[in-house]
Structure 1
Amino acid sequence: MMAIPSGLFASNSTSAPSSASEVYGNVSSVPTAPLCPDWLPVPMTTVIPAIYSVICVLGTLGNALAVYVLACGNPLTRTVANTFMLNLCVSDLLFLLSLPFWASYYSRGYSWHFGQVACKICGALLHLNLYASIFFITCMSVDRYLAIVHPFLSQRSRDCERARIVCVLVWVLAFACSAPNLALRDLHHLKELNVTACVISYPDHNWLLTLNWMKVILGFLLPLLGISCCYGAIGRHLLAYRGPARLQNSPLPQEGCFRSEQTQTPSVCQNSCSARPTMAQGVERILWTVGAVVMAFFLCWFPFHCVTFLNILHEVGWLDSCWVTWTIRNLTPLTLCLGFSNSAINPVLYCFVGNHFRGRLADLCKGLCACLKAHGEQHSQKRDSFSTRLSSFSRKLSDLKDLAIVDTSVSP
């Protein structure tokens, strides 16, 4: 839900407009809200564009680099987790490309100058990213659970082909969840501000409550429950096999996209115990990477969903006080900025937590430097060759001039 004005909540308000991005189809049914004359509003038209600009620049650079590294890496090193991470980066990148429009929208005082189609597309990308991000993070958590707790049972099912199919299903589900907002978002003239705003026009009050509940439940609570169960099971499993002797007898997950045809036997395990510390470190590193991504998502989006839940309680009449109105109007856009910052944080987590990501990034940088160096040497050789030919031509021209002078001096 974009932090833009609903404006129709308080017809006589001169403070900052509400950030719920909603307009009711029936104005007479709009509930009145108490105002807070002693509580100063947040200057949205200056604060929000500045935050959006920083998030857009840093997030676009980071996610574009992450997409390049994950998509152009060695096919032998591509894993199921990396497949989900790649789609997560693509989701963040698509949304970040719409942030300049929203930053301009705020800086113009909630006036949309980009047309109806751009309004619907930018709003759709916002909600699509909100659902797709948590869905892909949930997939990553389930994949970690299967790889660590049930490595043998999931060995045949965890491959990149199935991961791509899951990613397609996730995109379809995220689009289905964001489709109502795409249909309801449109341009509306707000008389209170005398602007044409890009807002969500709810047909009635039930639409507002239904979509908000769907956002809280499908976009946060259910995925959070699944993620918590997965990591709880992973923690119990790792604690149960914490001893060195148990670690030697415990199977380790297959991380590649290529399935192994043979299962490990006790004799093979004894012969490969020297390689287990390295494999265990790789599993632990991947676990920390996914865990950091999950924790970052929770810290970034939890405040926004708390304010959304507070707005639901306010709409049904359970909470109706001055501080509730001020919180909904002023903290929704700020918590939304915090949620958007998650799109810029994810590639940083991949870079600083994932050693494989840093290794592939270093290899790509070395390759790029080698290509630039080779191109520079080739250009230098061409320039030297041109200089040599030019110098030769100059000498020949000088010789011809000398011959002409000699011929002139000896002529009668």
Structure 2
Amino acid sequence: MSISANLSMMSGNQTQGNNTKCNLENDDRTFQVVPVYILIVAVLGIVLNMFVLMVFCLHKKACTVPQIYLSNLAAADLVLVSCLPFWAINVSRKFVWTFDESLCKIINVGIVMNAYCSIYFLVLVSIDRYMALVHPMTQMRMRRPSYAKLGCLLVWGLGFLLSLPSLIFRKLDFEGRCHIDYPKNMYLVFELMLFIFSFCIPISIISFCTIKIIKVLTNRLTEALGSQNKDQKATTLVLAVLLAFLICWVPFHLTKMTTILSKMGIITKCSVLYVLLICRQTFTYFAFFNSVLNPILYVIVGKNFRTKTKELFKQWSDVRKQHSKLSRSCQTQNVTP
């Protein structure tokens, strides 16, 4: 998740057989436009994800298993976007970190941890939809709210473990930049490990479950009513969230893989490294937008979420009416001689 301002920080490769590193600086417009974009994403993400959590947590009915996963996904998105204003300031200062080193670690752990948690919450959602549609006879035993909450707890723990390199090795360099400084010859080990556990494994599980789900839904197009129809509505929302995640995050992970290749000396040409720098930054900022897109999808695609929202507002309206009646009743009693 580190965003370097100079490609020589990202790759120490030699170019064209000489000892001169690629010195490719960002355009000044980057430091003017990008912070504004990040702040917009942060504000929208905070407001929208707080709204989603409010609907899920304050509604009088208990959350279903998919809603437990989606509410935790909203919580992960909320923590991520809450860290973004610090990155906006960092970019506006040309990647010079103006805060202390502890905050450098905490903010990056918050971003990295919740990015990893997001994809594994989607893994849980995919498995849940797979069980509900592909193996409906066993779903009652396996799909319990208590199991869902335990799964979410494990995901938070896994996200923290995957973010430990940022907590341990993230530091300020002599130029005041907040960057990750792995031990000698350990960069490739950590980056490859994180790439496998944060992308390859979860994407493989999600892809398998999604293919099976789509196949079942295609076979059930003629079936209309009952619990299956309810499951299909929930699955439509899940598939929309999965698609949004893939569109937003897959480009980032692919460019991250090319960065690893540049560290291995496979990619050395300065012009290619410059393109990688631009793509890495562009796709990183684009990935952040996923935290804004998810709550919007809940409203647009999630019919059950819209129903839950209406019921919550009606619930609040009834409470206000009761308080108003009680207040008028007390006033009447006070006026009566």
Q: CA deviation digits over 1:182-218, x for unaligned, max 9?
A: 100112222xxxxx121111222x3222232233322
**Which residue matches 1:64?**
50
State how far apart, in whole Å, the 1-side matches of 2:139 and 2:209 are. 15
**Which residue matches 2:3?**
3
Q: CA deviation digits over 1:204-256, x for unaligned, max 9?
A: 2x32222322333222222111111112122333344555xxx5xxxxxxxxx
Q: Specify which of 284, 288, 295 is matched with residue 236 of structure 2.
A: 288
State how far apart, in whole Å, the 2-side matches of 1:42 and 1:136 are. 37
Query: What aligned pairs does 1:245-324 form with structure 2 within 5 A after superposition?
Result: 247=223, 277-324=225-272
SS of alignment partner, residue 117 of structure 1: helix
Is the alpha carbon distance of 1:333 and 1:381 closer, same or farther for their aligned partners in structure 2, counting shifts above 3 Å?
farther
Q: Given the two structures, how large is their TM-score scaled by the length of structure 1?
A: 0.73
**Which residue matches 2:215?**
236
Q: Alpha-carbon deviation of 1:278?
A: 4.5
Q: Alpha-carbon deviation of 1:155?
A: 1.5
**Which residue matches 1:197?**
177
Is the alpha carbon distance of 1:161 and 1:337 closer, same or farther for their aligned partners in structure 2, counting shifts above 3 Å?
same
Query: What letter corresponds to residue 326 of structure 1 in structure 2?
Result: Y
State how far apart, in whole Å, the 1-side matches of 2:251 and 2:71 are. 26
Which segment drifts farther, 119-128 or 327-336? 327-336
**Which residue matches 2:147?**
162
Is the alpha carbon distance of 1:188 and 1:375 closer, same or farther for their aligned partners in structure 2, counting shifts above 3 Å?
farther
Query: What aligned pairs does 1:308-387 form with structure 2 within 5 A after superposition?
Result: 308-371=256-319
Q: Specify which of 150, 168, 172 is matched with residue 157 of structure 2.
A: 172
Is the alpha carbon distance of 1:142 and 1:382 closer, same or farther for their aligned partners in structure 2, counting shifts above 3 Å?
same
Contact 1:307 1:327 in 2 (8 A): no
RMSD: 2.8
Is the alpha carbon distance of 1:380 and 1:172 closer, same or farther for their aligned partners in structure 2, counting shifts above 3 Å?
same
Is the alpha carbon distance of 1:241 and 1:92 closer, same or farther for their aligned partners in structure 2, counting shifts above 3 Å?
closer
Is the alpha carbon distance of 1:154 and 1:378 closer, same or farther for their aligned partners in structure 2, counting shifts above 3 Å?
closer
State how far apart, in whole Å, the 2-side matches of 1:61 and 1:381 are. 37
**Which residue matches 2:200?**
221
State how far apart, in whole Å, the 2-side matches of 1:199 and 1:322 are. 22
State how far apart, in whole Å, the 2-side matches of 1:324 and 1:119 are. 29
**Which residue matches 1:15?**
none
Q: CA deviation digits over 1:139-179, x for unaligned, max 9?
A: 10011001111111232121000111111111111111111
State how far apart, in whole Å, the 2-side matches of 1:40 and 1:60 are. 29
Which segment drifts farther, 351-360 or 292-301? 351-360
State how far apart, in whole Å, the 2-side matches of 1:53 and 1:242 are. 43
Structure 2 unaligned spans of 5+: 16-20
State how far apart, in whole Å, the 2-side matches of 1:356 and 1:285 are. 8
Contact 1:41 1:330 in 2 (8 A): no
Q: Alpha-carbon deviation of 1:32?
A: 3.6
State how far apart, in whole Å, the 2-side matches of 1:107 and 1:382 are. 57
Is the alpha carbon distance of 1:309 and 1:148 closer, same or farther for their aligned partners in structure 2, counting shifts above 3 Å?
same
State how far apart, in whole Å, the 1-side matches of 2:328 and 2:237 are. 44
Which segment drifts farther, 329-338 or 363-372? 363-372
Structure 1 unaligned spans of 5+: 11-17, 23-29, 191-195, 248-275, 389-412
Is the alpha carbon distance of 1:374 and 1:115 closer, same or farther for their aligned partners in structure 2, counting shifts above 3 Å?
farther
Query: What letter corresponds to residue 201 of structure 1 in structure 2?
Result: D
Query: What letter corresponds to residue 189 of structure 1 in structure 2?
Result: F
State how far apart, in whole Å, the 2-side matches of 1:308 and 1:169 are. 26
Query: What letter corresponds to residue 84 of structure 1 in structure 2?
Result: Y
Q: Alpha-carbon deviation of 1:65?
A: 0.6
**Which residue matches 1:112?**
97
Q: Alpha-carbon deviation of 1:4?
A: 3.6
Is the alpha carbon distance of 1:146 and 1:188 closer, same or farther for their aligned partners in structure 2, counting shifts above 3 Å?
same
Query: What letter corresponds to residue 294 of structure 2 in structure 1?
Result: N
**Which residue matches 2:18?**
none
Q: Alpha-carbon deviation of 1:385?
A: 11
Q: Does residue 123 of structure 1 match 2:108?
A: yes
Is the alpha carbon distance of 1:380 and 1:31 closer, same or farther for their aligned partners in structure 2, counting shifts above 3 Å?
farther
Query: What letter corresponds to residue 211 of structure 1 in structure 2?
Result: F
**Which residue matches 1:398?**
none
Contact 1:95 1:126 in 2 (8 A): yes
**Which residue matches 1:31?**
13
SS of alignment partner, residue 90 of structure 2: helix
**Which residue matches 1:209?**
188
Q: Given the two structures, how large is their TM-score scaled by the length of structure 2?
A: 0.88
State how far apart, in whole Å, the 2-side matches of 1:330 and 1:369 are. 50
Query: What letter corresponds to residue 181 of structure 2 in structure 1?
Result: S
Query: What letter corresponds to residue 3 of structure 1 in structure 2?
Result: I
Q: Does residue 51 of structure 1 match 2:37?
A: yes
Contact 1:310 1:324 in 2 (8 A): no
